[in-house]
Amino acid sequence: MTTPIIVGNWKMNGLSADSADRVKALLAGLASQRATGTEVVICPPFTQLALLAPQLKGSPVALGAQNCHMDEKGAHTGDIAPGMLTDLGVTHVILGHSERRRDHGEVDETVREKAVSAAKAGLTPVVCIGETEDQRQSGEAQDAIGWQIKGSLPDGFAGVVAYEPIWAIGTGLAATPDDIRTTVAFIRAELVRQFGESGKTLRILYGGSVDAGNAASILAIPDVAGALVGGASLKPDVFLSIVHAVPAR
């Protein structure tokens, strides 16, 4: 039985006061509700990690980051090394998000190298894959996803895979349960093909406009072990409803 996991990606949102308030509300909500057995991770901007780490220490919410560099240190102005994250108490890191691939030209090889370095530093990499609208319409979605799995996940990968159809990110459009079921089954088959027995238990998340209204139907899909939540993670009550939509396993 794999442990479900809900990851909140705050993206480029959060100043000190509202970040602290958001976490306070999240922790209060978790304390007032039944334990779910679900891992909960929030990934605020880099500027908020040191502020929120003491607030989250010893809590049921883990601290994640939205990116890291592949090198341990060096002349990389503006970048953050994996060890700098663990030094703050960060345990997870999102890698290869489509917005990083789009805005910063990250390719599969870059994501793979980051995943290796993140794991070496003790972080759990959450590696994102997903197809564009053009690839979807042309029937090339599975080919695109297959190549991303092959290129982005290193040998011995033991992290988390997040399937985020690019056309659904931040658009309010989510893939239908049938679409998700079909694609996640394909991803599982590819993971088994690449990693053998360990590919059967790697956790697969769904992301892309997950909200309180669709979370339960998405999280009920076999092989979906959780969600990577974007905008809805900025609203503690909505994020909590997604956490509590995870079915008993």
198 is in an annotated binding site: no
120 is in an annotated binding site: no
- HSE-up of residue 110 (Cα within 13 Å, Cβ side): 14
Residue 152 domain-assigned (yes or no)? yes
Helices 141-152 and 108-120: crossing angle in degrees, nearest 10, is: 40
Mean pLDDT of 144-151: 96
Domain hosting 103: range is: 5-12+62-243
> In the predicted model, is pLDDT for residue 1 greater than 80?
no
Residue 207 domain-assigned (yes or no)? yes
- Whether 69 is a known active-site residue: answer no
Residue 31 domain-assigned (yes or no)? no
Residue 157 domain-assigned (yes or no)? yes
Using 50, 70 and 90 to split pLDDT, how confident is the model at 41? very high
Segment 201-237, tens digit of pLDDT:
999 999 988 999 999 999 999 999 999 999 999 999 9
pTM of the complete model beyond 0.85: yes
Residue 180 domain-assigned (yes or no)? yes
| Residues ≥6 apart with Cβ < 8 Å to 164 | 97, 98, 128, 129, 130, 206, 207, 208, 228
When the pLDDT of each residue in the chain is averaged and rounded to a whole number, the result is: 95
Number of neighbouring beta carbons within 10 Å of residue 18: 12
Alpha carbons 121 and 124: distance in angstroms, whole number: 9
Residue 169 domain-assigned (yes or no)? yes
Of 39, 69, 97, 190, the catalytic one is 97
**Spatial contact of 63 and 42, defined as CB atoms under 8 Å apart:** yes
Nearest 5°: the CA angle 43, 227, 31 is 65
DSSP state of 248: P
pLDDT value, residue 149: 97
CATH of the domain at 213: 3.20.20.70
> In the predicted model, is pLDDT for residue 33 greater than 90?
no
Residue 57 domain-assigned (yes or no)? no
214 is in an annotated binding site: no
170 is in an annotated binding site: yes
- Whether 244 is a known active-site residue: answer no
Q: Which string of b and e fits 94-103 if b means at least 16 CB within 10 Å?
A: bbbbbbbbee
**Spatial contact of 100 and 77, defined as CB atoms under 8 Å apart:** no
pLDDT value, residue 34: 64
11 is in an annotated binding site: yes
> In the predicted model, is pLDDT for residue 124 greater than 90?
yes
230 is in an annotated binding site: yes
- Token representation of residue 96: 């290869």
Provide the domain count of the chain: 1
Residue 49 domain-assigned (yes or no)? no
Query: What percentage of the chain carries pLDDT values higher than 90?
Result: 88
User: Per mean pLDDT, which range of 17-21, 119-123, 166-170 is the poorest?
Assistant: 166-170
Mean pLDDT of 171-193: 92
pLDDT value, residue 168: 84
Q: Is 7 left (phi over 0), alpha (psi -120 to 50) or beta?
A: beta
Of 39, 99, 106, 164, the catalytic one is 164
DSSP state of 2: P
The widest CA-to-CA distance across the chain, in whole angstroms, is: 48
10 is in an annotated binding site: yes
